[in-house]
Amino acid sequence: MSHYPFCSSDFKNEPYWWDLTPRPAAHALPLPATTEVLVIGSGYTGLHCALQTALAGRSTLVIDAADAGWGCSTRNGGQISGEIKPGYAVLARRHGAADAVALVGAARGALDWLGGFVAENGLDCDYRQCGRYLAAHNSRQFQRLATAARRQIPGLEQKQQVVEKRDQSSEIDSDFYHGGLVIEHHCGLDPAKYHQGLLRLAQTNGAQVIGHCAAVGIEREGDGFIVRTSRGSIKARELVVATNGYTGAVTPWQRRRIIPIGSYMLATEPMNPGFAARLMPASRVFSDTRRIVVYFRRSPDGERLLFGGRVSVFESDPLRSLPALRQEMLHIFPQLSEVKISHSWMGFVGYSFDSLPHLGTRDGIHYAMGYCGSGICLASYFGHLIGLQLLGKAQGNSVFNQPRFQTRPLYRGKPWFLASAVRYYQLLDRFI
Ligand SMILES: Cc1cc2nc3c(=O)[nH]c(=O)nc-3n(C[C@H](O)[C@H](O)[C@H](O)COP(=O)(O)OP(=O)(O)OC[C@H]3O[C@@H](n4cnc5c(N)ncnc54)[C@H](O)[C@@H]3O)c2cc1C
């Protein structure tokens, strides 16, 4: 059914990725009464953690309120950077120069780690080191990018190439941007294929994964926990919260520290191959310098444009935000005005107040979350680390255990301040 005149006749209000990787069939597996390790949330964080504990021979159960991988891990843009939001200068002010280098370096190391993980395990997920084009939305931002590329922080140098606006057609068929920066080692993948490969790997190694089983209450019992779920209670020795942008009332401490922010995506219908290739000839992943960022890329088969951004503060129905998102796309690519939209979807990205990802243990409950939109690589790596930490292995220790996981007075998990913050950032984007 078509919803707007610009939608294709086979339009779906769900992720494009699910066409190729349908949601796993819901098996009514019996819920075990006990497990050594219980992981709440079956995205990249939960599955990577479960893989480690299962490999170590611990009985491991992963539960999810919906289908396995229903959250962001099968809905994202498939762009992998290994970058944390705050830049070196901000981190150096907050934590000192040495820790700033350590934090940025550890996050970038996660990108190499993920590439190795995908290759070693032969995961079929269209993983490609395609590079990123970071496009400047005005000339001031272009100057800022060019200066930063010339004066890279010692110890954090990376292969980058400044592209002037006049040379930009080799990267993008658009006059919208004022030049940009190619970051060679950033990558792309199909997020749902990656999730499916990871799910199979965790299961093959002994982790049990049960969908449609929401955790609704947690109580301490002896040296473990009783977790009440929508399908009965489970006794667990160790408990891991891996719910990121979907963190809810069952873990109020974590909920007070995560700001769920909607991110929206669309896919176009398949385009003529020559036309699609001309849009982004080098076939990289793209994002821009705006604070209210947009991001886009071609689908792994090269036929479609996948375009995302933060176009609405209040909507959770991507259909209602679709006209605004399409408009953003047409500002950059007016030549797509006749191309139909085949999919639209959204998900909740988990932000933290200091824009850093966090992992650790609170009241005996392990957690890893707050990836601020860079979770393909960071959620995977943090899930892996939290699994190792739970096993008491020194390789699990991370510099990211150190920064305090902050909240704010009166914040309970509903970001009432978001609308004004977004409007403020949109204003800054217009002028700075
Ligand atoms: C539209 C969009 C585009 C994005 N693009 C990118 C990108 O290009 N690159 C990038 O690196 N990152 C991107 N991200 C972010 C990235 O997808 C996430 O950071 C990452 O997937 C987080 O993984 P996770 O396992 O921590 O959480 P999720 O994959 O979100 O999993 C959390 C799970 O917890 C479950 N859950 C919640 N509460 C309960 C409960 N009480 N009981 C049981 N289960 C529960 C949920 O059902 C959910 O399945 C994007 C996100 C969105 C929404």
Tell me how far apart the alpha carbons of residues 80 and 60 are, in angstroms, rounded to a whole number. 28
Tell me how far apart the alpha carbons of residues 271 and 276 are, in angstroms, rounded to a whole number. 6
Q: What distance in angstroms lies between residue 93's CA and the mean position of ligand 1's atoms?
A: 30
End-to-end CA distance of the chain: 42
CB 49 within 8 A of CB 368: yes
Tell me how far apart the alpha carbons of residues 10 and 304 are, in angstroms, rounded to a whole number. 15
Q: Give pLDDT tens digits along the chain (432 positions).
A: 457 999 999 999 999 999 999 998 766 789 999 999 999 999 999 999 999 999 999 999 999 999 999 999 999 999 999 999 999 999 999 999 999 999 999 999 999 999 999 999 999 999 999 999 999 999 999 999 999 999 999 999 999 999 999 999 999 999 999 999 999 999 999 999 999 999 999 999 999 999 999 999 999 999 999 999 999 999 999 999 999 999 999 999 999 999 999 999 999 999 999 999 999 999 999 999 998 889 999 999 999 999 999 877 777 789 999 999 999 999 999 999 999 999 999 999 999 999 999 999 999 999 999 999 999 999 999 999 999 999 999 999 999 999 999 999 999 999 988 888 888 888 888 887
Residue whose CA is at the smallest distance from ligand 1 atom 22: 375
Choose one of 16, 72, 113 to mutate for the ligand 1 pocket test, by most ligand atoms within 8 angstroms of C-beta: 72
Structure tokens given for 178: 């004022």
Q: What distance in angstroms lies between residue 346's CA and the mean position of ligand 1's atoms?
A: 11
Q: Please give the pLDDT value at position 90.
A: 96
Q: How many residues does the chain have?
A: 432
Closest C-alpha among 209, 48, 198, 43 to residue 125: 198
CB 356 within 8 A of CB 86: yes
Residue whose CA is at the smallest distance from ligand 1 atom 16: 375
